[in-house]
């Protein structure tokens, strides 16, 4: 299969390209840049450019002749912009996305895979929480899924991967976990965190999920992706082990107390005239729960195999430490 990818030089896209190439597929990507020192998959054709700035005709010319399409770009909830942030997230994750997936379908693509968020999954299984009301990012991800399901049909398969916490490192690109390492460094001598936990995967497993979805998915379907479920305490212990503090004491805060810290973060955003993808105070209702996903829901149907999560977390931590200590040059891990 000939596959065209948006964001193939990023952490997820490059791993997906590697997996696809190893399975005998051809891969071309359009990306804004490649991180300094990055080792991109041999055999992947790279076209540098901004798909959002190209005309419909220019995009059709690039997309023509490809049976598969992968969208591994967009922006995540950590980006802060002047309110209302919903407009920003909608522009990147819905409006521009809708245009390019429509053009991919018109240009002959038969199979598409979109990298989404596991927040969408929890919004669907916990409807009473009404996450889309309070969190612009979650609302936009649900809208993105709606676009995908409307696009899908007998001649166009669309799979949305609802991705959880992802670990692994790409040389030259700043991990999203650098802010966690920075935060944990400041917690002396005891670390404080909330109750609950989350589903996790390695970047290698995401690559397998993307390739598996291109090959196996039929029609329109959302796949909750999660292979390992860890409590926040278990997760932090692994972080501290790789930071060199294996015996660090961790205290679990009650939700009401954890909310105080989130309120301070929201007040700081307001002070600077900024808004993120989630309402920091309301987010405690999600953050303090077990955001667990059974691998039978997505990973197993797509052929995802076990991997070394501990090692992948270690890669993320070590690169984050090198960045904080100004030992390496990196680019920010933002949307393509």
Query: pLDDT tens digits, residue range 86-127?
Result: 999 999 999 999 999 999 999 999 999 999 999 999 999 999
Structure tokens, 215: 């090959």
Q: In which band, very low, low, confident or very high, does the pLDDT at 322 lie, cut at 50, 70 and 90? A: very high
The larger pLDDT score, comparing residue 162 to residue 333, is at: 162
Q: Does the pLDDT at position 320 exceed 70?
A: yes
Q: Does the pLDDT at position 332 exceed 90?
A: no
Predicted local confidence at residue 35, as pLDDT: 77
Q: What is the pLDDT of residues 287-298, one digit of tens each?
A: 999 999 999 999
Q: What is the pLDDT of residues 260-314, one digit of tens each?
A: 999 999 999 999 999 999 999 999 999 999 999 999 999 999 999 999 999 999 9
Query: DSSP characters for 67-110?
Result: SEEEE-----TT--BSSPHHHHHHIIIIIHHHHHHHHHHHTT--
The larger pLDDT score, comparing residue 103 to residue 331, is at: 103
Q: How many other CB atoms are found less than 10 A from the CB of residue 316?
A: 26
Residues 159 and 113 sit within 8 Å (Cβ to Cβ)? yes
Cα–Cα distance, 162 to 121 (Å, whole number): 7
Predicted local confidence at residue 37, as pLDDT: 77
Coil, strand or helix at 222: strand
If you classify domain 2-167+200-227+292-304 with CATH, what class do you get?
alpha beta
Q: 61, 30, 236, 311: which is closest to 10 by C-alpha? A: 30
Q: In which band, very low, low, confident or very high, does the pLDDT at 230 lie, cut at 50, 70 and 90? A: very high
> Mean pLDDT score of the chain, rounded to an integer?
95
Percent of the chain at pLDDT above 90? 93
Predicted local confidence at residue 267, as pLDDT: 97
Q: Does the pLDDT at position 336 exceed 50?
A: no
Q: 85, 204, 75: which is closest to 144 by C-alpha? A: 75
Q: Does the pLDDT at position 218 exceed 80?
A: yes
User: Which residues fall within 8 angstroms of residue 281, CB to CB, at 6 or more apart?
Assistant: 259, 262, 263, 266
CA-to-CA separations, 257 to 186, 192, 251, 288, in angstroms, rounded: 18, 10, 12, 11
Percent of the chain at pLDDT above 70? 99
Cα–Cα distance, 235 to 219 (Å, whole number): 36
- Length of the chain (residues): 336
Q: 229, 208, 227, 224: which is closest to 298 by C-alpha? A: 224
Q: Does the pLDDT at position 335 exceed 50?
A: no
């Amino acid at each position: 299969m000939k596959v065209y990818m948006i964001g193939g030089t990023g952490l997820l896209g490059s791993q997906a390209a590697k997996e696809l190439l190893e399975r005998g597929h051809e891969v071309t990507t359009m990306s804004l840049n490649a991180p300094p020192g990055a080792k991109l998959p041999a055999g992947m054709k790279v076209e540098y450019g901004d798909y959002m700035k190209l005309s419909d005709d220019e995009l059709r010319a690039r997309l023509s002749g490809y049976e598969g399409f992968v969208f591994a770009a967009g922006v995540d909830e950590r980006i802060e912009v002047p309110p209302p942030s919903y407009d920003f997230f909608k522009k990147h994750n819905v409006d521009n996305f809708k245009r390019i997936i429509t053009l991919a379908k018109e240009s002959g693509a038969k199979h598409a895979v979109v990298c989404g968020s596991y927040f969408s999954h929890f919004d669907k299984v916990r409807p009473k929480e009404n996450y889309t009301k309070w969190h612009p990012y979650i609302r936009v991800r649900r809208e993105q899924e709606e676009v995908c399901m409307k696009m899908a049909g007998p001649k166009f398969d669309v799979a949305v991967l609802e991705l959880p916490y992802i670990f692994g490192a790409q040389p030259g690109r700043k991990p999203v976990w650098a802010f966690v390492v920075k935060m944990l460094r400041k917690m002396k001598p005891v670390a404080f965190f909330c109750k609950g936990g989350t589903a996790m995967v390695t970047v290698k497993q995401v690559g397998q999920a993307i390739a598996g979805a291109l090959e196996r998915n039929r029609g329109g379907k959302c796949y909750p992706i999660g292979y390992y479920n860890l409590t926040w305490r278990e997760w932090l212990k692994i972080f501290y082990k790789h930071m060199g503090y294996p015996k660090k004491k961790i205290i679990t805060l009650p939700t009401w107390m954890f909310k105080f810290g989130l309120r301070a973060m929201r007040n700081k955003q307001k002070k600077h005239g900024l808004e993120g993808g989630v309402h920091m105070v309301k987010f405690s209702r999600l953050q303090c729960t077990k955001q667990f996903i059974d691998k039978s829901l997505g990973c197993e149907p797509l052929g995802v195999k076990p991997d070394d999560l501990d090692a992948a977390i270690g890669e993320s931590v070590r690169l984050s430490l090198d960045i904080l200590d100004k030992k390496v040059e990196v680019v920010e891990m933002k949307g393509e």
